[in-house]
Amino acid sequence: MFILKMMLLAIVAVTFSTRVNAGVTEKKVRKIHNKILTVDTHCDTPMAMLDDNFDIGKRNSPPQSRVDFPRMKEGGLDAIFFAAFTGQRERTPENIENAYKMANQMIDATYEACRKYNDLAEIAFRSKDALRLEKQGKRAIYIGMENGFPIGTDLKRVREFYDRGVRYITLCHSSNNDICDSSTDRKGHEHNGLSGFGKEVVKEMNNLGMMIDVSHISDKAFYDVIQLSKAPLIKHSAVNCISFQRAVHCTSQPEHD
């Protein structure tokens, strides 16, 4: 975890630096880029991998795909989190089960792609795996899950997804779910932050060593997680005041994402 934290801190430091150095050349930038371990913390490519016509082991062209193993190598991207994304729907048993199946299908597709192209990429589980695979010339493929919808209200599924290799969960997405309120649900807040079940999810993720992704969640849910979690949080999307280009201080996370 220490290495991963340091990588994330480095990314943040570079992103928010306001210093301009006129002496920096493209050659120097490429030299630095080739020396460091680069990580993309969120990529939706697993959705495309459910399409039989998409081959992640070959060089594809946009708009079909903007990420594949050959272009990761060409661009010097060492590690990536493939997100098993499921859109939020009405929380019926049938919809939850469909989301659960789809998330597992995307995870299965990720494992299968790494088995098929083992010379190019490998599933990663720990932070040190990224360094090991980088030395072998392979891409480190971590798995994340965007939206806790597939969990439903079954706490055992948190451990189940962890055992399948999922290393972070984005608690919700565009609408409220059984874990917490979303920052963009048109119906407004339902739980006033984390639900009672959501608090158990946060505790279980802490116990497992699974990262908590607070993108898309409401302000109150965000501060509930801050208060409850015993581990640092991540946010795969941009800081609000940057993503909306507002002239405000980045001291809070307003109700947007």
Please tell me the least confidently modeled range out of 55-59, 180-184, 239-243. Answer: 239-243
Calculate helix-pair angle for 127-135, 2-16, nearest 10 degrees: 80
Query: Whole-angstrom Cα distance, residue 101 to residue 92?
Result: 14
Q: Which amino acid is at 166?
A: V
Cα angle value 133/137/139 (rounded, 5°): 60
Q: What CATH number was assigned to the domain covering residues 41-243?
A: 3.20.20.140
Q: Which amino acid is at 231?
A: A
Asked whether the predicted pLDDT for residue 206 surpasses 80, the reply is yes
Q: What percentage of the chain carries pLDDT values higher than 70? A: 84
Cα distances (angstroms) measured from residue 173 to each of 22, 150, 163, 177, 227: 40, 12, 23, 8, 21
* pLDDT tens track for 86-142: 999 999 999 999 999 999 999 999 999 999 999 999 999 999 999 999 999 999 999
Q: Are 105 and 50 contacting, i.e. CB atoms less than 8 angstroms apart?
A: yes
Sign of CA dihedral 257, 171, 8, 165: negative
At residue 254, the pLDDT reads: 53
Q: What is the mean pLDDT of residues 210-227?
A: 96
* pLDDT tens column, 135-160: 999 999 999 999 999 999 999 999 99
